[in-house]
Amino acid sequence: MKTTQIRSRGWLFTFDDIDGLYTNVFVIRCKDYYFVCDTYLGPEPMNKIKKLLFKNFGEKQFIVFNSHYHWDHIWGNCAFPNSLIISHTSTVNMINIYGEAELFSNKKYKQGNVKIVKPNMVFGNTISFPNEKIVIFYSPGHTFDSSSLYDMLDRVLYVGDNIEDPIPSLENKEFDQYIETMKKYDNLDFKVLIPGHMRNEEDLPKPKIIKKNMKYLTSIMDQTGLSTYQRKQYRNIHRRNLESLEKIGYVPIEK
Ligand SMILES: [Zn+2]
């Protein structure tokens, strides 16, 4: 686990247990609460983070945010039994449908005794914590249920899996909505963007990643310029995307 301070009150915990795909848990040390963005692979890493925070900054309540329903973002929810766990309404529906099945098929990645715990507070468009200067908003993209968290004080934006370097993983064919989400990000005044995953442990993506990801989405949607994504740095993710889009009935003519 690598720990990085982000601006005045953010702590980024980066893990490397999923076959070279670095995964982030982002914690914001607010006035009355610690906000935890996504909970990784189980209670073990979450208890480690809790201990570290308590030791360095004292005890506070936690508010947990799940950016979307995928297993590698929610398995540590069970380490926060008395906390608010917040997500978009559809995240709870998706966990109801896929939670146990994903736990079974990815069980080799479990860290600790994982019990599927669903969010206990849901929102539609946005939910705000004015005292803590935190806004959480619906931002469909990577999945239909994706949402993001913005720290207004530090101007840090946590985007879950909506943004990825070099291109995002797709499993939702509502590209218009995804592009709207990208535009929303682009219009936000943020200093640091934190994705759920990184290919490289050292580098957070630069803000220009938004335009780069948007270009890819436009290519998929308009079916133009897709040959670019046959290049080595994109090829595997692009191929996986075409496969998962095909499963939901979207096949670009030009591959
Ligand atoms: Zn995901």
Going along the chain from its start, the domains and CATH numbers come out as: 2-206 (3.60.15.10)
- At residue 253, the pLDDT reads 72
- At residue 75, the pLDDT reads 98
- At residue 190, the pLDDT reads 96
- At residue 200, the pLDDT reads 77
Q: What distance in angstroms lies between residue 176's CA and the mean position of ligand 1's atoms?
A: 19
Q: What distance in angstroms lies between residue 142's CA and the mean position of ligand 1's atoms?
A: 7
How far apart CA 194 and CA 28 sit, in angstroms, is 12
For residue 46, which of 130, 149, 38 has the smallest C-alpha distance?
38
Q: Interhelix angle for 209-222 vs 232-247, to 10°? A: 50
CA distances to 23, 66, 97, 152, 191 from 7, in Å:
20, 22, 38, 12, 9
How far apart CA 160 and CA 174 sit, in angstroms, is 17
Backbone phi and psi for residue 118, each to the nearest 5 degrees, phi listed first = -85, 155
Q: What distance in angstroms lies between residue 173's CA and the mean position of ligand 1's atoms?
A: 15
Q: What distance in angstroms lies between residue 162's CA and the mean position of ligand 1's atoms?
A: 8
- The string of pLDDT tens digits covering residues 171-193 is 999 999 999 999 999 999 999 99
Residues sharing a CB contact under 8 Å with residue 106, sequence separation 6 or more, in sequence order: 71, 72
Q: What distance in angstroms lies between residue 40's CA and the mean position of ligand 1's atoms?
A: 11
Q: What distance in angstroms lies between residue 161's CA and the mean position of ligand 1's atoms?
A: 5
Q: What does the pLDDT profile of the chain (255 residues) look like in tens digits?
A: 999 999 999 999 999 999 888 999 999 999 999 999 999 999 999 999 999 999 999 999 999 999 999 999 999 999 999 999 999 999 999 999 999 999 999 999 999 999 999 999 999 999 999 999 999 999 999 999 999 999 999 999 999 999 999 999 999 999 999 999 999 999 999 999 999 999 876 779 998 999 999 999 999 999 889 999 999 999 999 999 999 999 999 887 765
Amino acid at 59: E
Q: What distance in angstroms lies between residue 90's CA and the mean position of ligand 1's atoms?
A: 14
Amino acid at 15: F
Q: What distance in angstroms lies between residue 49's CA and the mean position of ligand 1's atoms?
A: 21
- At residue 189, the pLDDT reads 94
- At residue 255, the pLDDT reads 56
Residues sharing a CB contact under 8 Å with residue 173, sequence separation 6 or more, in sequence order: 245, 248, 249, 250
Q: What H or E segment, with its residue span, contains residue 165?
A: none
Q: What distance in angstroms lies between residue 62's CA and the mean position of ligand 1's atoms?
A: 23
Q: What distance in angstroms lies between residue 116's CA and the mean position of ligand 1's atoms?
A: 16
The torsion region of residue 26 among left (phi > 0), alpha (psi -120 to 50) and beta comes to: beta
